[in-house]
Structure 1
């Protein structure tokens, strides 16, 4: 790709593939495609439904880039008796009401209800993935242009009038292919991340005893003893509540050399502090009561927070994630968890410190892997945002 001189940015994007130098043209969307609405056959006539024709509703659009199977189907008679129209493969479905601007590309011929103004590209003028990649522009236009008293809706006539800058078709296809590959990579990383999160859920279920059991379903080799039910304060070094003389949300300064953690700021901390203490923190007051966070460093803790110190921090943290701490909270206006309640909380844990360490280290490594994949995914999404800004005029 090559950068473009600022003087021509208005007619060409900042970033282009080599070999393309012509100015982009401003065209109306209706000159490049047909904008097609949908329709709904009478729901009281069973002869119109459960046929072979896919029929989409807006709620089905937004998660997938390509769609090829709808939740509901209609018959040929239902198609004839309604304003629904068959849309070809490559149509960009565009929701036009009750959530304007969700899009998907048809991978199989289908119809829609009236909550769409779908874009059927002229194959000689407009590439499907090129216009799909401009979903954000389509959405903004629809939201600004739409009207209505009950709910905002954009019409097909309005969508046809939308002005867009486009290059000739071969460059469109090049750009469309680039974003399709990028979206495929993002989707692959998302699937990996989702799989890791599901695996973690499975391990949490199998590596801690289920209700009534004294051993988990899955264990590390060499450990065979039953787990013991103990109070939480028998498994940790200290459980306490912060002090009211510190206010949550204070900025770091010469006067407050340690960060202050409270129920609403419990996860906002700076890595610049020396790591000298390990805590599991749980908000004890308010809507966040029972939320768990790990922290290492020199901090001051407000009276809205309960802290738990342990040599085996990781195991304690994951042990507590298996228990809904919100159950310990009482009160309606400002739910409260007392440190004394946490101290007396009975939980099953291994007899040996070594097994606790194994379990804690296992989940810590798994969380680190999940965080790594999350960072990669976030980076790809940020890169896509940058390309979207620079590759369209």
Structure 2
């Protein structure tokens, strides 16, 4: 049977390092801060190093659980990660607490449960976003015998390693895609069978394009049908929040698109995003739909537009304000191989990378779902 035990009966805590701006160096002792704890892992993110001479706190060890205990955002209090490898010359920052135990993976899993979240909420004051060592001392949880603790910890330890490895693979594939895209589109790299020159084309000359519209929201019979209504924030999705009836489609400027059409977001927070439509549906006025001519490769055009996003946004959406227009996008100049075969080779290479990334993202989601299910069912 599981029995209620104080958290600090099966672990101990240590505090982080307080340092000053003048202590920061380009290299030295690495300080783990809140930004370095993401999705249950320790990552590189705006890393800070300090002079080893000022360090007076414990070095982290493999198996430690690092917890965010103070932050401007209440939602980040209690965020944590297990140290899955040794990191010499590494400490935690002042707004962090380290938990050290012979059962690190179990403790890390325990801190992922709703019980821990409940304890954190009880500890937070009305205005102060922090939990203290005293708060940790008051926390108690149902804990099994040592053998079961080790078994549960081993399961979650393996899961966390798999999740971290999958995320690392996704990051690596994203980097490969970015590097390949840059060098292929800048023509620094060419596939050896191609040597003909590239030429500049206006987008409007190589695609047919149109935008849609929105049926009146005041007429209920226009909505709730079987036609997915794709809005700009949904161009990456295979589902939509709204659907249209045939009547709504007929009595508005909404236009139909097919699976595989290129969709470009003109308005909204994701202006400049581009993707293939995942579904047959209808689009509103915030989306530009494009279908390339038979002489041009759809994948090549898609990835070229993806790569151009930052330049387009910085040129036409100063300070994140304003909207793009179909006229602006269709007037863009794209450097393209004269050979359709080379376009297809480049487009297919990048598409294969995207498919690999998608497969691993699906694997990551499945592992996270499995972990969530085990947390709900093993910790009772």
Q: Answer whether contact 2:264 2:272 (CA < 8 A) is retained.
A: yes
Q: Show the counterpart of 2:210.
A: 240
- SS for the counterpart of 1:300 is strand
Alignment equivalent of 1:315, drawn from 288, 292, 300: 300
**Structure 2, unaligned runs of 5 or more:** 241-255
Does residue 380 (structure 1) correspond to residue 353 (structure 2)? The answer is no
Structure 1 or 2: larger helix share?
2
Distance in 1, Cα, partners of 2:192 & 2:30: 54
- Aligned partner of 2:98 in structure 1 is 118
Contact 1:284 1:335 in 2 (8 A): no
Retained in 2: the 8 A contact 1:290–1:329?
no
Q: Could you tell me which residue of structure 1 aligns to residue 175 of structure 2? A: 198
Residues 242-275 of structure 1 deviation map (CA, whole Å, 9 limit, x = unaligned): 245577xx99978x5533333344445459xx99
Q: TM-score, normalised by structure 2?
A: 0.75
Structure with larger Rg: 1
Which residue of the other structure, out of 21, 24, 37, is the alignment partner of 1:62?
A: 37
Distance apart, 1:195 and its partner CA: 1.2
**Judging changes above 3 Å, is the alpha-carbon distance between structure 1 residues 321 and 58 closer, same or farther for their aligned structure 2 residues?**
closer
Q: Which residue does the alignment assign to 1:158?
A: 135
What corresponds to 2:377 in structure 1? 390
**1:137-157 Cα distance to aligned partner (Å, 9 max, x none):** 475155313345663222222
> 2:282 aligned to 284, 297, 300, which one?
300
Q: 1:229 aligns with which of 200, 209, 231?
A: 200
Pair 1:378–1:45, CA change in 2 (3 A): closer
Task: Give per-residue Cα distances to partners, 1:328-350, cap 9 Å, x unaligned.
Answer: 64698972323222232111111
Cα deviation 1:73-92 (Å, max 9, x = unaligned): 554x864xxxx567876543
**Alignment partner of 1:357 is 2:344:** yes
Query: Judging changes above 3 Å, is the alpha-carbon distance between structure 1 residues 118 and 350 closer, same or farther for their aligned structure 2 residues?
Result: closer
Pick closer, same or farther for the CA change 1:279–1:251 going to 2, 3 Å: farther
CA spacing shift, 1:318–1:166, aligned 2, 3 Å: same
* Structure 1 residues 181 and 39: CA distance shift in structure 2, 3 A: closer
Which residue matches 1:130? 106
> What RMSD in Å do the two structures reach over aligned CA positions?
3.9
Q: Tell me the CA shift for residue 351 of structure 1.
A: 0.8
